[in-house]
Structure 1
């Protein structure tokens, strides 16, 4: 990808998001001049950046949007819903064009038609006739380059002339903050310059000393990209002509190259890079220390001294590796704000299209997660919000009849729980009817009637995640709640997370996503069970204990024992994993005591092996739905082990 284009794509998305945020906030605070100025700056800067490339349709729309915002800033127009709608539509289309450039290296074939339609709509909001001719490229005057190059500067560069520019500043340039003379002074490789008047003879009574009436023509020996960069903020007011051997003959424009859609960039706090460099230095020191120890081991160093020296260096190395891993993971951490900031505009557009009144409340956007988690959350959250808007939230008159406020509320909350990210999406809509789900499940033959009747409501609601519910012929109240919900669970599973759902009929629905913050080092206890090794996260273990066989007694169909005057049920890990039948207790039972809510549960294992700090990886896509498995980890001997989610395993 061209470096300049790559930078444009990064900054373009940021400017689009800033403009969207400002416009949405402006609708709530229409008299806030700071918001108007901020939105204007974003559009103006984006328009200038677009001028560096051959994306004329984008420039056309952004120029019209800038004019509309300029009229609002000058108080010639008021901030109303129509104006904000028009500007948001223009910004949204600009965002889609930026995505198209990132994937294909160029705009879609219909970009020019779409741009002219959007520009006409913005002109109509501005009070201009939509039928008026749209802005065309600056008219070229025959022979202007010949005259320009005839007036070479006193000390022309030995370099050949590569670019000629004709600059017609907007009449309101001074009020926009544009300085034509300052621009010319910053042009690299300037070799020729002509300054004249656009309108030579205005009547004395019509003369406006604050209007810019200049035409500036100049030539440069610098590269085309450098000249374009110096004119980027007035790209719509300049005609830039590359020169080959003859003045006036434009150089052929190179074909646009496709952009690598998988290219990723990450902005990193320089302090984190400094930390990595510091750790690298310390690793070099410990490497040298190990080299010295290797030499000493071949001499008269006795065994005890060698073991002690190895232990010391191993402790230092363990500390450094742990610190290195945490720092590398922190480099990949990004705030969720850029992902979440897309949703206010989405909710506004959907609500307007459906004729519903909805407020979106977002909290916790400052939480930082791994870049892959942030990118992967966009699609499932978008789908969940669409479902909540379309099928969860009622119309205003229906809410009034139900005794609810006419405006519905959708809440998106983000929080951090240990090494996990908790995402909760809640709406105060109609909720999900378990009876309707039972009827649909029966119609789709997902389960038998007796089995469905025996299921609790919570388990029945969970059926909407089954692919069988992704059909078009469902009851109206259920339509959409199940469509694609299996895809949501699959997408979250690929990120190493889990999805759960709660709903109360008539009160609303809450969807919870639990995901890892990053690929963190997890402290686990290695245990043996039926000849295999497994990892159990230490955060799930309250304590380990060895229980004599005579202390274990039967309780109904299970077993239990007393620990510090508290009865604790005992389960076998082999039975939970489905790899062995229950065995009679030995003289001594080794157990892990696990907290489940407010209760304690013990899990019997064959042996405790070790405590390790491991890099936990989520399960592959095909296995992501396995119950009771948190992920996998690689041991030092090369063996892969399963790390258990004991809470899910117990159920």
Structure 2
């Protein structure tokens, strides 16, 4: 991809996100001056960015939006009541065009027609009413252009500024005038530009060194009377215009921090090296033990050096982890637009709210969260929220409610998507699963309601009678489960018929390292991710009883099947007494895995399986021990699923 385009895609989407955030405020407070200023800056900058590419339609729409926002900045009443929804629609379309540019290298052939429709809404609002004397009419065009170009300078100013335009006449040099020296006497210059008086500099062959062909424009923080005194000898060649100070702290919304964009692959490589460094440092323990047999003082010095090294490695690890943390907002910025489009396509009015999207998570989690949430949103709007007439019959408001709430819980991030729709009927799920031959009637009858509801994640499951552009192919919820599994998370469903459904995704906030429990099976050791473990237990042999063709035990007043992890891996069954059990979940139900023993708990980097291991089922990856050994990390969910 072209470097300029790649940079635009990043910055363009950031600006769309900024605009969306400001419009969200303006939907409730159309006269909020701070939000109007923020939206104007985002739209203005975005208009300049799209001008670099063949996006004339986008530039036209943004220009109209910019004009409308500029008028609102000068009007104490703020935006008209119906302006913000139209601005939101326009920004949604800009976002779609950015997607098209990334996918196809250009925006679609129908862009001009779309722009004309949007301009029919926005441009009318941007026009000043006939006979109305607006502040914009009092501003000379050159000053308006200068203000628009130097909007960032104005945003950071803590006092009023004066715009000046000095146009020396052609014979200025012959009279002994020195425009540059005169300009140098202007105090508190905040911005300065030297422009050609004819709109373009003359060709070098036609250049006349004795003719003055420049115009000098700029902004000064000095009082306007001071500037009049400086230009008192050339008053006919100078225009001055005071720029009103904003009544709100515009500078509050302007970040003064410097952002350095680094390729994610480089950060990942750095994280890998930190992991290697940690493994190398752990080797000092074995060296210290060997040294202790020869020279105890030397062994003590080695351990002290290792402690210092461990502290430094820990600090570097925390720094790399912090670098990978990103707020969820940008990753989920397109979700509100998708909700509006899906709801409009299905003819269902839906109000969508988001909270907690400022929470920071590992970039891998942020990048992987949009896809499953999009599938869940489609499912909620299509299958959960009822049509308006059905909601009215149920005594509900015509507009469906859909909310996304994100919160931290210890080392996890909890993402909850809730709707106030019809809920999930377990009986209906059983019937559909049997019809689609995903499960037989006898097995379905044995399932609890929770386990039955979990069947919606089975491959090929769908309650839709026909395939539509939104659902019906039976791949959406399966894709959700696969995506959550890739992020080492889990998903829960809480649904009540007639009241609505909540999907709760619990994901690790930090994907750089994984907390592992080491388990022993005979002479071998394996690692198991902590987030796949519900609990561990030790029970006597007499509590393990035959049940059908297998074994079970009672834990917390509940019968739990017991499987041998050794046998699942192709080895001999573990026979330790008391039996050591590792409890996990399979299809929402607890399952116990018998092992020979529990060993250390470690935080380690898990590498994806490669080579021969890539094709081995139930292997999540590998990790290194302190002595340089390799441990296989098991995927319990796949193993018992």
Work out whether the TM-score is over 0.5: yes
- What is the distance in 2 between the residues matched to 1:637 and 1:239? 70
CA contact (8 A) 2:391 2:397 kept: yes
Displacement of 1:367 = 1.9
Q: 1:408 to 1:630 in 2, by over 3 A?
A: farther
> How many Å separate the matches in 2 of 1:495 and 1:465?
16
Q: 1:419 aligns with which of 401, 411, 415?
A: 411
TM-score of the superposed pair, with normalisation by structure 2: 0.65
Within 2, Cα distance between the matches of 1:562 and 1:99? 52
1:319 aligned residue (304, 308, 311):
311
1:491 is matched with which residue? Answer: 483
Given the superposition, is the C-alpha separation of residues 332 and 460 from structure 1 closer, same or farther in structure 2, using an over 3 Å criterion? same
Deviations 1:304-338 (A, max 9, x none): 34433333333333333333233212211101122
Structure 2 match to 1:160: none
Aligned to 2:87: 87
Kept in 2, the 8 Å contact 1:541–1:592? The answer is no
Q: 2:365 aligns with which of 373, 376, 384?
A: 373
The 5 Å alignment of 1:189-268 reads 267=261
Determine the C-alpha separation between the residues in 2 that align with 1:105 and 1:481: 30
Q: Deviations over 1:148-168 (max 9, x none)?
A: xxxxxxxxxxxxxxxxxxxxx
Work out the CA distance in 1 between the residues paired with 2:204 and 2:439: 75
* Equivalences for residues 150-549 of structure 1 within 5 A: 171-172=140-141, 174=143, 178=147, 267=261, 302-469=294-461, 473-474=465-466, 480=472, 482=474, 484-536=476-528
Aligned partner of 1:574 in structure 2 is 565
* Secondary structure at 1:366 match in 2: coil
**Conserved 8 A contact 2:356-2:406:** yes
Count of residue pairs brought into register by the alignment: 525
- 1:623–1:386 distance in 2 versus 1, CA, 3 Å: farther
Q: Indicate yes or no: 2:56 matched with 1:56.
A: yes
| 1:90-127: CA deviation from partner (whole Å, max 9, x where unpaired) | 21222233334445655445544544443344334446
Mapped contact 2:426–2:449 kept (Cα < 8 A) = yes
CA contact (8 A) 1:470 1:482 kept: yes
Aligned to 1:616, which of 598, 606, 612?
606
Q: How many angstroms apart in 2 are the aligned matches of 1:6 and 1:475? A: 36
CA RMSD in angstroms comes to 5.4
* 1:529 positional shift: 0.9
Relative distance call for 1:178 and 1:439 in structure 2 (3 A) is same
- CA drift of 1:241 comes to 8.8
| 1:10-31 deviation digits (Å, cap 9, x = unpaired) | 3322222222222233222233
Q: Secondary structure at the match of 2:633?
A: strand
What is the Cα deviation at residue 358 of structure 1?
2.9
C-alpha deviations, 1:418-455, integer Å up to 9, x for none? Answer: 33322111111011223333333333333333333333
Deviations 1:537-556, CA, capped at 9 Å, x for gaps: 578597887x8x7x855557
Q: Would the alpha carbon gap of residues 428 and 619 (structure 1) be closer, same or farther in structure 2, given more than 3 Å must change?
A: farther
In structure 1, the residue matched to 2:624 is 634
Tell me, yes or no, if the aligned pair for 1:71 and 1:77 is still in contact at 8 Å. Answer: no
Q: Which runs of no fewer than 5 residues in structure 2 stay unpaired?
A: 130-137, 153-165, 170-190, 208-258
Query: Within the alignment, does 1:69 sit opposite 2:61 as a pair?
Result: no
C-alpha spacing 1:5/1:526, structure 2 compared with 1 (3 Å): closer
1:73: Cα distance to partner?
A: 4.5
Q: Measure the CA separation in 2 of the matches of 1:180 and 1:543.
A: 64
| SS at structure 1 position matched to 2:408 | strand
Contact 1:527 1:533 in 2 (8 A): yes
- How far apart in 2 are the matches of 1:538 and 1:446? 30
Q: Distance in 1 between matches of 2:614 and 2:42?
A: 42
Pair 1:593–1:181, CA change in 2 (3 A):
closer
CA gap of 1:175–1:338, structure 2 versus 1, over 3 A, is same
Secondary structure of the corresponding residue to residue 468 of structure 1: coil
1:37 maps onto 2:60 in alignment: no
Q: Deviation digits for residues 149-192 of structure 1, max 9, x if unmatched? A: xxxxxxxxxxxxxxxxxxxx995554576289999xxxxxxxxx
SS of residue matched to 2:402: strand
Contact 2:32–2:78 (CA under 8 A) maintained in structure 1: no
| CA shift in 2, pair 1:87/1:555, >3 Å | same
SS of 2:147's equivalent in the other structure is coil
Asked whether the 8 Å contact 1:27–1:80 carries over to 2, the reply is no
Output the CA distance in 1 between the equivalents of 2:511 and 2:563: 30
Instruction: Describe the shift of the 1:589–1:457 C-alpha distance in structure 2 as closer, same or farther (beyond 3 A).
Output: closer
8 Å contact from structure 1 (residues 526, 534) kept in 2: yes
Partners of 1:124 and 1:530 lie apart in 2 by 78
- 1:591 pairs, out of 580, 595, 620, with 580
What's the offset of the Cα at 1:414?
1.5
- Kept in 2: contact 1:430–1:508 (CA 8 A): yes
The answer for the alignment partner of 2:178 in structure 1 is none
Give, in whole Å, the separation in 1 of the partners of 2:433 and 2:558: 40
SS of 1:469's partner is coil
Whole-angstrom distance in 1 between the partners of 2:554 and 2:337: 57
Q: How far apart in 2 are the matches of 1:419 and 1:242?
A: 65
